[in-house]
Structure 1
Amino acid sequence: MKVTFFELGSIKDDSFNYVYIFTTFNNKWVFVREKGKDTWEMPVGHKEKFETIDEAAKRELFEETGAIDYNIEPICDYSVTSNKKTTYSRLFYAEIKKIGSLPESEIEEVGFFIKTPDNLTYPEVHKILYKKVMEYLSKKARNI
């Protein structure tokens, strides 16, 4: 598996496959668990044909967490190549201010963690993207 990072806007909107949203609420990381699974992941989802990648991120954040008031920021674009297949995604950071009811979806549970849980759905990708998000947040904190 190979992850390659790109500047925001380097990938055409119709080329994106997914959004991956590192999310916090009350200073805890937000992870979600799909029905029938025992692993956790950050809110992640497919981009629909009719929407922009930024619209997809907002939709997925609501569908997977119930977030109704939040700040969401794009960090970078990236690709993942595995088994000779490449997918394109945009990495986001979201800070949820208010959560409503979880809509009917594939998500069974929303969890709040001080640190990353051990049983992740995508541990390799998560580790690489986590490092990128922490670099982004550190740089952002220095610029305040």
Structure 2
Amino acid sequence: MKVYTFRDFNKNEVDLAFTKNYFSEEPGHVWVVSRHVNEWLLTNHTRRGLEFPGGKIEIGESAKEAAVREVWEETGGVIRDISEIGQYRVQGKAETITKSLFYADIKRIEKKEDYLETKGPVLVKCLPENIKNNPLYSFIMKDDVLIHALHVTEKFRE
């Protein structure tokens, strides 16, 4: 299995593999590349900007359960189908974070009163080609995890 290694937007070293639990049986976070009909389902994080939903795995929760919960909490998205497509590890200055990476097909989006730390769902037909320089998008969307994940998820979108 190929492991991609690169620097993220914040200059941290990132290792990415498209194998379930490649770096850890117990990752601490999830990130969910989400699609509703023919559009990408993003959330507008209050501090970071536009990004795919994701977050921390709670105690007693599996990575898949966390992914489903995070999509619901941040967007109101109800998942039709979800697949774990890989895992990545970010070696920051203070700590190392491991995230399981998922692809989700969204059945519907329900209106919610509260989207927690986000401003709710944002649907976009296309992600901008200049996303790395676009101030509307979160730093999470500006490294090679996104590029490789979009390539891997093409098979789900055919």
TM > 0.5 fold call: yes
1:122 corresponds to: 139
Change in CA separation of 1:74 and 1:20 when aligned onto 2, cut-off 3 Å: same
Alignment: residue pair count:
139
Q: Is the 8 A contact 1:13 1:52 kept in 2?
A: no
1:134 corresponds to: 150
Q: Secondary structure at the match of 1:48?
A: coil
Q: Is the 8 A contact 2:16 2:145 kept in 1?
A: no
Name the CA distance, whole Å, in 2 between partners of 1:39 and 1:72: 24
Q: Is the 8 A contact 2:82 2:105 kept in 1?
A: yes
RMSD between superposed Cα atoms in Å: 2.3
Name the CA distance, whole Å, in 1 between partners of 2:91 and 2:23: 15
Q: Is the 8 A contact 1:76 1:92 kept in 2?
A: yes
Normalised to the residue count of structure 1, the TM-score between the two structures is 0.82
1:85 corresponds to: 95
Name the CA distance, whole Å, in 2 between partners of 1:39 and 1:131: 18
Aligned amino acid, residue 72 of structure 1: I
Structure 2: gaps spanning 5 or more residues: 1-11, 129-133
Q: Quick one: percent identity of the two aligned structures?
A: 24
Name the CA distance, whole Å, in 2 between partners of 1:12 and 1:89: 9
Q: Following TM superposition, by how much is the alpha carbon of 1:91 offset from its aligned partner in structure 2, in angstroms? A: 0.7
- Within 5 Å, give how 1:1-144 maps onto structure 2: 1-6=12-17, 7-14=19-26, 16-35=27-46, 37=47, 39-83=49-93, 85-102=95-112, 104=114, 105-116=116-127, 118=134, 119-123=136-140, 126-138=142-154, 140=155
Normalised to the residue count of structure 2, the TM-score between the two structures is 0.76
Q: Secondary structure at the match of 2:126?
A: coil
Name the CA distance, whole Å, in 2 between partners of 1:23 and 1:68: 11
Larger displacement relative to structure 2 (111-120 or 86-95):
111-120
What do the CA deviations read for 1:84-130 (whole angstroms, capped 9, x no partner)?
A: 5210010111111211122522221311112236222225x543122
Name the CA distance, whole Å, in 2 between partners of 1:120 and 1:97: 24
